Structure 1
Amino acid sequence: MPENLELELAKQFKASQEKYIYFLLAAAASAIGFAMTQSKAEPLNYIHAPFGLAIFLWAISFISGLKVVEYAVSVSFQNQNYLAFKRELRSFQAENASELVAQFKVRLDKTIGKQQAKMQLYGGLQSWCLLFGALSYIVWHGARMWTLNA
């Protein structure tokens, strides 16, 4: 029973993590789309620098989110390969099966560790770029209102 509970918790964690990543992806794409509708009739000038920065940061956020998804899929695929490798070794009754599995597991852990570090990097970048893009957009909007009232 505890194994089933642990597996269920792992599934719930993975599902909530994926929802969060996809939410941030949708937010970045929506922000870019909305922002583009706000300035389509204006001539380009220096006041649009924060606007351009916001679009750039949202694009970085979106690309970072795609990288997180890419690494998450890769980690799942590698875990699947590990389980298939263990299953194959059992069916062949290899005399050094436990040694082969241990070697494979060491290499897998090293690779997955690197990928998880990249996922953390890109996940943080996704969140922070989305936030700073919004702040830059607010600065642009405030400056735009200021210049229109002057």
Structure 2
Amino acid sequence: MKSEKTEIGTILYEYQASSVAPQYHRSYELLVTKNEIKVKVDSYGTILTDTSIAITNIQFFEIVEFYDSLGFKNIPKKDNKGCVGGTGAVLKVHDTNDTLIFDGHISFCGGQEFGTMEGDVKKLSEKIRSFIPDFESLLKRDWKPEGMDE
């Protein structure tokens, strides 16, 4: 009997920035669906960008195939053993029925990786961002909280 491969419906990648002053802090979410990538950028909860970028089915399946090629898997949680700072990422994948089929997080601190998954989330992020024209501009690096001196 042939095994059915689960059909991916969405891929959510969340980048968690390190703790720095608000004018420099940028965390973001990239939600990939069959027809768009939803981009949300924030600085400690202040939404700086909330937009969608249209993609084709071919582009969606290119992202899905790339995700599959990276071999993400859950592992027993690796604690950070006191490392302070660093960045992190969350990856959640749902099938076409919106059932969660993968849920992991990873932290990068002191040159080490901690968390509940293995797989190159940085490469996946790069692939997703390659379909977002001028992603850097969406980070709004010139933004400063109200009341900040120039």
Structure 2 length-normalised TM: 0.24
More helix as a share of residues: 1
State which structure, 1 or 2, has the greater radius of gyration over its C-alpha atoms.
Answer: 1
Structure 1 length-normalised TM: 0.24
More strand as a share of residues: 2
